[in-house]
C-alpha cells in the first residue's frame, strides 16, 4: 500500500507490537516527523521468513488513511491468523515497524505445578509451568520466564512445543530450586508472554495442599 505524503524526516510507528485474535480490527499509527513542503511516498509493506497472508495484502480488509499531514494509519479489518507479520511504514528517509501477532485460539492456558512428594525428599526439586492450547502458528511467539520473590532466576529449562492429540501444542518449562527454598515458603512466579499479552501464575508451599 502506497500513500503520497509530505515532509518525512524521522518516522515512527506505534505500537511496536500488537496481539489480536481472529476477527478483530487492527490500527497502526505512523507519524512522519514534520512537514517540510516536499512530497514523499509512504509505503506499507510486510515481511516474515515464511509468510502466509490470509486473503492478501491487497484485500479490501486492508486500508490506509491520513488523519493529518503528519499522521497516517494502516487499518486491517477482521484479521486472520495468516496476517501475522512485521508491518513496515516506510519513506525514502526512514522506516519503522509493528509486529502483529494474530492468534486463532486466544490467550494460552497456563498451569503451574508444585514439586512432587518424591522430589521433596532430595536437596533439589522442580516446579513445572505448562502452557497449553497453542496453535501451530502461535507456538513460536511464546516466551516463558520465572521469578523467585520477584527476582529473576536462570536455572530454567523450557522444552520445544509438543503437539497434542487435538492438534494444539503445549510447552513445558522447568525451574530447579533448592528444596529449602520451598520449605521457606518462597513465592515463585511463572510468566508466559505472548506478544504484547502475558499471563502469570504464582505458587508457594503455603498455597499448596501436599
Of residues 149 and 51, more confidently modeled: 149
Of residues 10 and 6, more confidently modeled: 10
| Sign of the torsion angle spanned by Cα atoms 194, 85, 80, 16 | positive
Quote the CA–CA distance of 31 and 13 in Å, as a whole number.
6
Q: What is the largest CA-CA distance in the chain?
A: 74
Neighbour-count burial of 205, counting CB atoms closer than 10 A to its CB (0-12 exposed, 13-18 middle, 19+ buried): middle
Of residues 40 and 30, more confidently modeled: 30
Residue 55 pLDDT grade (very low, low, confident, very high; cuts 50, 70, 90): very low
Sketch the domain layout of the chain as residue ranges.
2-103, 109-205
Record: fold of 109-205: Immunoglobulin-like (2.60.40)
Q: Is the overall model pTM greater than 0.85, yes or no?
A: no
What's the mean pLDDT in 118-125?
A: 93
pLDDT (tens digit, 9 = 90+) per residue, 70-121? 888 888 888 887 788 888 887 766 778 888 877 765 567 899 999 999 999 9
Topology match between the domains 2-103 and 109-205:
yes
Architecture field, domain 2-103: Sandwich (2.60)
Amino acid at each position: 500500500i502506497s500513500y503520497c505524503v509530505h515532509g518525512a524526516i524521522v518516522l515512527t510507528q506505534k505500537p511496536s507490537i500488537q496481539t489480536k485474535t481472529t476477527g478483530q480490527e487492527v490500527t497502526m499509527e505512523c507519524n512522519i516527523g514534520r512537514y517540510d513542503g516536499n512530497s514523499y511516498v509512504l509505503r506499507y509493506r510486510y515481511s516474515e521468513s515464511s509468510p502466509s497472508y490470509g486473503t492478501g495484502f491487497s484485500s479490501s480488509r486492508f486500508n490506509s488513511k491520513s488523519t493529518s499531514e503528519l499522521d497516517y494509519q494502516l487499518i486491517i479489518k477482521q484479521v486472520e491468523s495468516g496476517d501475522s507479520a512485521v508491518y513496515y511504514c516506510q519513506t525514502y528517509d526512514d522506516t519503522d515497524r509493528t509486529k502483529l501477532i494474530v492468534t486463532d485460539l486466544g490467550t494460552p492456558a497456563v498451569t503451574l505445578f508444585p514439586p512432587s512428594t518424591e522430589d521433596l525428599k532430595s536437596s533439589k526439586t522442580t516446579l513445572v509451568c505448562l502452557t497449553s492450547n497453542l496453535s501451530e502458528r502461535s507456538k513460536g511467539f511464546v516466551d516463558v520466564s520465572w521469578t523467585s520473590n520477584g527476582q529473576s532466576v536462570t536455572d530454567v529449562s523450557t522444552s520445544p512445543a509438543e503437539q497434542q492429540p487435538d492438534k494444539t501444542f503445549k510447552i513445558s518449562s522447568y525451574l530447579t530450586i533448592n528444596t529449602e527454598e520451598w520449605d521457606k515458603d518462597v513465592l515463585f512466579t511463572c510468566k508466559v508472554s505472548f506478544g504484547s499479552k502475558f499471563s502469570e501464575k504464582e505458587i508457594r508451599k503455603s498455597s499448596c495442599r501436599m
